[in-house]
């Protein structure tokens, strides 16, 4: 059953941009790209927030580390995006490990606050460090590419197939992230993260080094954010502090995770599929016309999230879907 759903879902995700390409409505491909990017970030955030149970409101720092690392490698050394990506993810994880170790002395709200504090410190650093372009940031020049293969290999798509190319790049990265996190969930790490979430003292009592495993959890989250930052940088063709250090890079994935189902592998995807299109629809309908510029679209968007959160705080995936499905099937039989 789950296998059939997976195959249907994968096929839908692969086929989705093709009719749009034929019609020429590439805007919806970009919406798909944003859904997958948000879902990927959410799957990464789930490791520290959902499994290890530590509220991290500053993972956008590592999104920025990834984006800047790959942009620097490309601009200064001519290293292509796919080669830069593992370096960027590793840099994000390493920097995160160093920054997070002292924070693991803090618990609960204090840990959450400290993650925000690190983000606040990162902002002026990004805005004033000349080597990384200070407030102006870095621009990523598009090199002329011929053919689909070289574009895909260099993660540089332009013109009519830009949205299509980045959609598939996002789909590939999302799929790899999901597969890796599925493996993490079933490994010793997954058990230890959840043990720390449920009861830190009891976890220490059975030999789990809570500080070490919190650092590992957050570093895995950081690696995913770093990798996503690379994708975003090459899509946006620029990296600057106000853009990659934006608060939305943590709030959107966190909201998607919570709405879809915190601590559930597929939760962030479901949340992103619901939230991102709604925000796009709201801004193209309520955000234009006579009500434009008054933020009505954001108010309605916010209300939708509040309603979902109030209706099902454990996330939509926690609804008894399998029960309903079985009953539905029995009724039709």
Partner 1 sequence: MAPLLQVEASSKRFGGLLANRDVSLAIEPGEIVGLIGPNGAGKTTLFNCITGYMHPDEGRIVFDAGDITHTRPERICRLGVARTWQVVRAFGRMTALENVVCGALQRTNRIAEARARARELLDFTDLRGRDDAPAATLTLADKKRLEIARALATQPKLLLLDEAMSGLTPMETAAAVQLVRRIHAELNVTICVVEHVMEVVMPLSHRVIVLDYGVKIADGTPEAIVRDEQVIRAYLGERRAAR
CA neighbours within 13 Å on the CB side: how many for 64?
28
Q: How far is the CB of 184 from partner 1 (least distance, A)?
A: 12
Which span (190-198, 238-246, 292-300, 322-330) binds partner 1, by CB under 8 A?
190-198
**Distance between CA atoms of 314 and 95, rounded to whole angstroms?**
32
Binders of partner 1 in range 287-306 (CB under 8 A): none
If you count them, how many residues does the chain have? 333
Q: Quickly count: other Cβ atoms within 10 Å of residue 91's Cβ.
A: 22
Nearer Cβ to partner 1 (209/246):
209
SS3 at position 117: helix
Q: Where are the alpha helices (DSSP H) in 206-263?
A: 210-236, 241-244, 248-260
Please report whether residue 207 would count as binding partner 1 according to CB under 8 A.
yes
Q: Quickly count: other Cβ atoms within 10 Å of residue 302's Cβ.
A: 14
Four-residue CA torsion sign, 7, 279, 226, 49: negative
For residues 238 to 277, the per-residue mask of contacts with partner 1, x marking binding by CB under 8 A and - elsewhere, is -------------------------x--------------
Q: Quickly count: other Cβ atoms within 10 Å of residue 23's Cβ.
A: 9
Please report whether residue 182 would count as binding partner 1 according to CB under 8 A.
no
Please report whether residue 101 would count as binding partner 1 according to CB under 8 A.
no
For every residue of 55-103, which 3-state class applies, written as one string? Answer: CCCCCHHHHHHHHHHHHHHHHHHCCCHHHHHHHHHHHHHHHHHHHHHHH
Please report whether residue 199 would count as binding partner 1 according to CB under 8 A.
yes
Please report whether residue 320 would count as binding partner 1 according to CB under 8 A.
no
Interface residue with partner 1 among 203, 273, 282, 305 (CB under 8 A) is 203
Please report whether residue 282 would count as binding partner 1 according to CB under 8 A.
no
Which span (139-147, 203-211, 245-253, 305-313) binds partner 1, by CB under 8 A?
203-211
DSSP letter assigned to residue 47? I
Q: How far is the CB of 199 from partner 1 (least distance, A)?
A: 5
Please report whether residue 89 would count as binding partner 1 according to CB under 8 A.
no
Nearest to 36 by CA among 174, 162, 138: 174
Interface residue with partner 1 among 144, 159, 201, 311 (CB under 8 A) is 201
Q: How far is the CB of 205 from partner 1 (least distance, A)?
A: 6
SS3 at position 180: helix
CA neighbours within 13 Å on the CB side: how many for 79?
16
**By CB under 8 A, how many residues form the interface with partner 1?**
21
Please report whether residue 206 would count as binding partner 1 according to CB under 8 A.
yes
**Distance between CA atoms of 281 and 89, rounded to whole angstroms?**
32
Nearer Cβ to partner 1 (154/318):
318
Please report whether residue 209 would count as binding partner 1 according to CB under 8 A.
yes
Please report whether residue 208 would count as binding partner 1 according to CB under 8 A.
yes
Nearer Cβ to partner 1 (148/212):
212
Q: How far is the CB of 208 from partner 1 (least distance, A)?
A: 6
Q: What backbone torsions phi and psi does residue 239 show, to the nearest 5 degrees?
A: -135, 115
Q: How far is the CB of 185 from partner 1 (least distance, A)?
A: 11
Per DSSP, the chain holds a count of helices (H) and strands (E) of 16, 2
Please report whether residue 312 would count as binding partner 1 according to CB under 8 A.
no
Strand ranges, E, within the chain? 138-139, 238-239
Type and span of the H or E element at 295 = none
* Residues forming the site for partner 1 (CB under 8 A): 186-188, 191-192, 194-195, 197-199, 201-210, 263
């Amino acid at each position: 059953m789950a296998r059939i759903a997976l195959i249907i879902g994968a096929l839908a995700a692969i086929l989705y941009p093709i009719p749009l390409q034929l019609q020429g409505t590439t805007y919806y491909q970009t919406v798909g790209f944003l859904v997958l990017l948000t879902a990927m970030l959410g799957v990464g955030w789930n490791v520290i927030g959902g499994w290890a149970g530590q509220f991290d409101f500053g993972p956008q720092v590592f999104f920025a580390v990834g984006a800047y690392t790959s942009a620097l490698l490309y601009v200064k050394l001519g290293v292509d995006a796919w080669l830069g990506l593992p370096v960027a993810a590793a840099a994000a994880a390493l920097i995160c490990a160093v920054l997070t170790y002292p924070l693991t002395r803090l618990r609960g709200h204090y840990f959450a606050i400290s993650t925000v504090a690190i983000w606040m410190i990162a902002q002026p650093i990004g805005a004033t460090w000349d080597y990384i372009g200070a407030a102006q940031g870095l621009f990523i020049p598009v090199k002329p590419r011929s053919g689909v293969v070289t574009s895909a290999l260099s993660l540089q798509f332009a013109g009519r197939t830009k949205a299509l190319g980045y959609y598939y790049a996002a789909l590939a990265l999302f799929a790899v992230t999901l597969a890796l996190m599925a493996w993490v969930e079933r490994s010793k790490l997954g058990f230890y993260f959840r043990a720390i979430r449920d009861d830190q003292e009891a976890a220490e009592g059975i030999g789990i080094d809570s500080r070490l495993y919190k650092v590992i959890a957050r570093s895995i989250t950081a690696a995913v954010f770093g990798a996503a930052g690379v994708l975003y940088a090459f899509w946006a063709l620029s990296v600057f502090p106000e853009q990659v250090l934006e608060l939305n890079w943590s709030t959107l994935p966190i909201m998607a995770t919570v709405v879809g189902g915190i601590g559930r592998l597929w939760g962030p995807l479901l949340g992103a599929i619901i939230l991102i299109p709604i925000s796009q629809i709201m801004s193209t309908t309520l955000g234009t016309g006579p009500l434009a510029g008054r933020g009505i679209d954001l108010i309605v968007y916010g209300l939708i999230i509040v309603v979902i959160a109030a209706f099902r705080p454990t996330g939509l995936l926690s609804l008894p879907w399998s029960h309903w499905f079985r009953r539905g099937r029995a009724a039709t039989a």
